[in-house]
A and B are shown apart, each in its own frame.
Chain A
């Protein structure tokens, strides 16, 4: 059974700091990996999708990497801003039906 772990559960940083969010998964037989952002009480916003054949994806200040063999992914946020405060969820696509298995998320707070 696939399990996705995100540690720590919460993180508080000062504005402007570069930071790395970690994600690990137990079964390396994944199709793709996706990072989401979730604001309190809201749905999920897709940030980056990394296909299994890729090593990384970039969008603006965000960069996500994938190492399937070690079962790890990282989300790098450059020059963090208070508007980045949210919960960041990592999810992997597994199985023939491509359902997503999520971690519990990392709640990020960026202090002005």
Chain B
């Protein structure tokens, strides 16, 4: 399977805990995006990487959120001290430079109790 993969698919955590999600983009795609989707809403942009460089961050990405793409391949999104409002579907997408079309992974559904 050469599509975008995300792990885990589901995560249940207690308020105040830290969680980390992983995204593996399509190989050779150097652009990687994170989005967040809450119930009944469309996905909202969180952050964007070109290779290993994080080039844009949304105001939605508070200080408790951090994203990395250390070798320009997979990416991780960490949420520290989770809050109930962090409950959402976290989606990852990738695209190639010069190609606009983004391909999405299956998402990680986070539930904060």
Contact = CB atoms under 8 A, between A and B. Distances in A.
Interface of A: 4, 31-32, 34, 36, 41-46, 49, 51, 89, 91, 93, 97-105
Nearest to B43: A102
The B interface, classified by DSSP as helix, strand, loop or mixed, is strand
Contacts of A101: 45
A93 B98 CA distance: 13
B91 interface: yes
Contacts of B85: none
B42 A104 contact: yes
Nearest to B6: A43
Contact of B45 (A4, A32, A99, A103): A99
Given A32-B100, A100-B45, A104-B42, A41 B109 contact: yes
A103 B42 contact: yes
Most interface-central of A44, A49, A104 (chain B CB within 10 A): A44
Interface stretch (B33-41, B61-69, B70-78): B33-41
Contacts of A99: 33, 45, 48, 56
B1 interface: no
